[in-house]
Structure formats: C-alpha cells, structure tokens
Amino acid sequence: MIRWRLCGILRNGWLIKNEGAGDKKSINFFMQDLTQANEKYKGDALLQKQYTADFLTKKRKKNQGEIPQYYVEGNHEAIIPPETWELVQEEMERRRNMDARYSSASIFSSKIKCSECGNWYGSKVWHSQDKYRRVIFQCNRKFKNDKKCRTPHLTEDEIKDAFMKAVNAVIPEKDELIANTKVMMRTLCDTTELEVEQSRFLTETKMVAEMVKRIVAENKAEAMDQEEYQRRRNELAARYEAARDGYEKASGEISDRQGKRKTYMRFIGGLQKLDGFCTKFDEELWTALLDHATVYARDDIRFTFKAGNEMKVN
C-alpha cells in the first residue's frame, strides 16, 4: 500500500516538474502528502516521535518533550531531493498564512497581486471552445468588487518576461544583496535566546508536573485539608499552564525564525546559481527568489523578492 502511494506521489511530482502535467487535485495531493510524510521523504528520520507510556498496557503516547528526540540526517535514501522537500514545506507554510483562499492552478497562482484591491491574480480561459483559445491572468475579483479593477490582464509569457527583467536588474547588485541578506539572517533568525527560554519553560513544566504528582500522592496517602489541597493544586495548575504557554510561544517563534532562515538561504542559493544574465524562465528560480509580484499597470509590475527588496519592471 505504501509503495503504491509513493509511486503515485513520485509520478505526479515528476510530471509536474518535467512535463507540467498533473491536474489541480493531483498537484495539491502531491504537496500535502510531502508535508504529511514529513522528513522521511528527504531521507531523514526523527526518532522517538512516540514512546510507551505504560509498559503494562503497551499504550503509546505522542512525545511532547517527555523524552529526548533525535534527528538523523541521511538515515535512508531520499525519495525526493531534500531541496524540493524544503521548498514544499515553505510553500505549504505560505499557503497556511494566506488570508485568501489558495489556488494551485499554476505556479503563478497566489503569487501575483492586484494593486487596486489586493486580491490575487488567477488564470482565466478566453475562447475556450475555438481556435483562438488562450489562457490569461487577471485579478480574481476584477468584476466582483463594487468598482471594476483597472489593472490589466497578463499572459504567461508577459509574466515570465517581466520576472526575467526583474532578476536581471538585480544581478549587478547580486554580491551586495547576498551580503545584506546574510546580515538580515543573522539579525532576524538568531534563536539562541529563544532556545534558552524554551528550555527554561520546559524544565518548569516538568518540575511543576512532578510537584502535582507529589501533592496528589500525599493527599491519597493521608487526607489533607481539602480546601488547602485544592488551592495548592490550582496554583500549580496555573503555574503549569503559564509555563506550557511560554514553551509553546517560544517554540513557535523558534520555528518561525528557522523558517525565515531557510527562506533566506534558498534566496541566497538562487542568486548564487545565477551565472550571467537570465535568458530563460526558470520555475525553481521563481519559487526560490520571489515572494510576490504586484501589478499596477502593464508597464508597472513590481516584484518583491524574499529578502524584502522590490524591483519595478516597466
């Protein structure tokens, strides 16, 4: 069963990358399955995700810090390239954080914004039943707002050409841009203090949990004043919840910064791959470098790269 499932995922992934095939449903399934399968697809393994909480009943429990976890890189042969897996994680995180509904009809979906209403551009088919059939991209709410958006429609070739112009415009500043991005990465992605805070909160939760166990055992062994017992237990419960919330907040911020670091690293990697001017549109470069593009007019498209810099294309 697993083997057939993997074969289907690989087939869809290969077709998407090499032939542009795969319908919307299969592409979404491919992306979601890579996320659900987690690190195993790229050849790594996270050990002790679960542990046996009760050896008598053999009950297993999700490991939420009770015992150490170990991350093993290169544990087995990768099913997909690690770089592809990382890009999928970044893309799925981007989709989760989007305010609007995501469309995956093409690599351009949910990457191009209308400057007037802020909605995404989506693909539309003109003359679908005759020889003049063509696919264009326009604001998804162009005719749905109270006032029609005046931003123009764009063809796929126009988007590609504009992107290549934007990339070529930053190439002369490539070294400076890489250096600045590394400075940003060191400043914005450092997790040292957060990891100390995370460890402190984790220690606190474990300590308070033991204190709760002791007070429960004491009350069971010899009946305490129940009002006093309940007061102490409530205090410990509040203390535990505060520590748990602090741990989760620190963990979330660490995860966010690690995600930003990966984004910056891929941005740097994309720039470093550029050897001379860009003469052919590259989907991987589009994914690695671009955060989004904003359309103001046909001769005014502004590309915002993942390092935060913006390039206007006329």
CA–CA separation, 284 and 273 (whole Å): 11
Segments of the chain with pLDDT less than 70? 1-38, 54-56, 83-84, 87-105
For residue 173, give the DSSP letter.
G
Residue 52: φ, ψ to 5°: -85, 110
Tokens 């040292």 map to which residue? Answer: 192
Residue 95 contacts residue 110 (beta carbons within 8 Å):
yes
Residue 9 contacts residue 33 (beta carbons within 8 Å):
yes
Long-range contact set of residues 98-105: C-beta below 8 Å, sequence gap at least 24: 103/140, 104/24, 104/27, 104/28, 104/31, 105/24
Contacting residues for 130 by C-beta, under 8 A, at least 6 apart: none
Residue 266 contacts residue 87 (beta carbons within 8 Å):
yes
Identity (one letter) of the amino acid at 20?
G
pTM here is 0.64
- What pLDDT score does 113 carry? 95
- What pLDDT score does 117 carry? 92
**Parallel, antiparallel, or unpaired for β 50-54 and 121-126?**
unpaired
Tokens 């990768």 map to which residue? Answer: 78
Across 156-190, b (16+ Cβ under 10 Å) vs e yields: beebbebbbbbbbebeeeeeebbeebeeebeeebe
- What pLDDT score does 36 carry? 47
- What pLDDT score does 87 carry? 67
Residue 289, burial from CB neighbour count under 10 angstroms (0-12, 13-18, 19+) = buried
- What pLDDT score does 312 carry? 94
For residue 222, give the DSSP letter.
S
- What pLDDT score does 2 carry? 34
CA–CA separation, 31 and 87 (whole Å): 10
Residue 116 contacts residue 149 (beta carbons within 8 Å):
yes
CA–CA separation, 80 and 303 (whole Å): 30
